[in-house]
A and B are shown apart, each in its own frame.
Chain A
């Protein structure tokens, strides 16, 4: 495993921890999109089907279990926890996330490396992950005041995606036959979605101002 991949996994892990920290200690999910969290739970559930069939490493299995466990517990917190659910901004979080799922299913059925149930599900999870952040970004645009933890959560997610691209570039030059168009293109699309957010994040950081996105 190269340094970019490890750093990518760690920023991904930290992003989830920051979010859980916010929800668990402050008992608030203000500014967090339930739609995006539900999509992530679906992404992990469909991607990690191989957890029982293919053993890669202890690291791999542990991380998969952490991402599955954390994503479903975040959804549980926002939907069911009696204090946390009160802070959920239902009126603002209106993105029709179900409409993202069907195109991803169709695309996965049409464009995949192998037409098997596991492979199509895996490909579906890549396509869905690419667009899963959209409800969160839309909610962010509507929320006038973005708190620090929410800003850091999205920044860490974007950092994770960027580091994975560096990881692919590194692997392309160091490993033989390492060409994965589906992973790369969906990963690139996903990272580009963060470009706008990054711009305003660094801008507010540089000027030492509170993060605010233009309406």
Chain B
């Protein structure tokens, strides 16, 4: 999983 959830934030 290289897309950590924080990356969906601005």
Contact = CB atoms under 8 A, between A and B. Distances in A.
Interface stretch (A142-150, A175-183, A192-200): A175-183
Consensus secondary structure, chain A interface: helix
A67 B4 contact: no
Nearest to B10: A63
B8 A56 contact: yes
Interface residues of A, number: 22
Contacts of B8: 56-57, 60
Interface string A165-194: 001000100010110100100000000000
A9 B10 contact: yes
A56 B5 contact: no
A64 B10 contact: yes
Interface of A: 5, 9, 12, 50, 54, 56-57, 60, 63-64, 67, 113-114, 122, 164, 167, 171, 175, 177-178, 180, 183
